[in-house]
Amino acid sequence: MTRAASRFRPASVASATVAALWLLGACGTASASSAVYKWVDATGITHLSSTKPPAGVAYERVTLATSLKSPSSRTGTGSGSGATRVAATASPEQSARRDEMVTSLRTRECVVALEAIDRMGKGGEAVDPAEFRRLQQTADRNCSKDSVTRGQQEEMAARLRVAKGDVCIDARNKLADMLEPGRRPTREQLKVQQEFIESHCTAPVR
């Protein structure tokens, strides 16, 4: 019997990225704005940076607005054509927050890639060399070179592996079944199931 897919699905990468950038933009001062540049290179690796990509490379620029509005998104190339110019220089505080956000997004890319590599290695199935190479390049590009930070990222990848595994899928589906109309689980049963999911099945990145 095919295993039922978990009813509890994490938010998409794009949604998480936009939401994070929106929050960062809302924290900016009234006289400054900033941007994060996102582009995909020829090998399929996604790059996130506070600086523009090389000349001629197509990119998306998300401007971190200074008001409580969603960040504006523009596309262009590394030469700057087609992109909205930043009206003012970002404040040091805003630049620091932007760089922190870029680091956070890179960590996510790193952890997702490491988890996928580990899953491929232990899956017992044929591995697509091109996909494996892309994941390895993503990890090399985004994972920290600092041994302590890299160890933390690898630990996060291991936790993500567990959260996406069969045990946690079953646990989430069991909780969903318990909440179906007509079911009458006790409070203690719900509490035990929820605590198990929170303790073992909470993904470190989404």
pLDDT the model gives residue 189: 94
Q: Which of 13-17, 32-36, 63-67 has the highest mean pLDDT?
A: 32-36
pLDDT tens column, 159-178: 999 999 999 999 999 999 99
Contact 107, 205 (CB under 8 A): yes
pLDDT the model gives residue 64: 54
pLDDT tens column, 136-165: 999 999 999 999 999 999 999 999 999 999
Backbone dihedral angles phi then psi of residue 59, each to the nearest 5 degrees: -145, 165
SS3 state at 166: helix
pLDDT tens column, 74-127: 556 655 444 444 445 667 887 788 888 888 888 999 999 999 999 888 877 788
pLDDT the model gives residue 163: 93
The full set of domain ranges for the chain reads 13-163
The conformation of residue 32, written as its DSSP 8-state character, comes to -
pLDDT the model gives residue 143: 95
User: Distances in Å between the alpha carbon of 175 and those of 93, 117, 127, 165?
Assistant: 43, 29, 33, 16
pLDDT the model gives residue 38: 80
pTM above 0.85, yes or no: no
Q: Of residues 59 and 163, which shows the higher confidence score?
A: 163
Contact 127, 118 (CB under 8 A): no
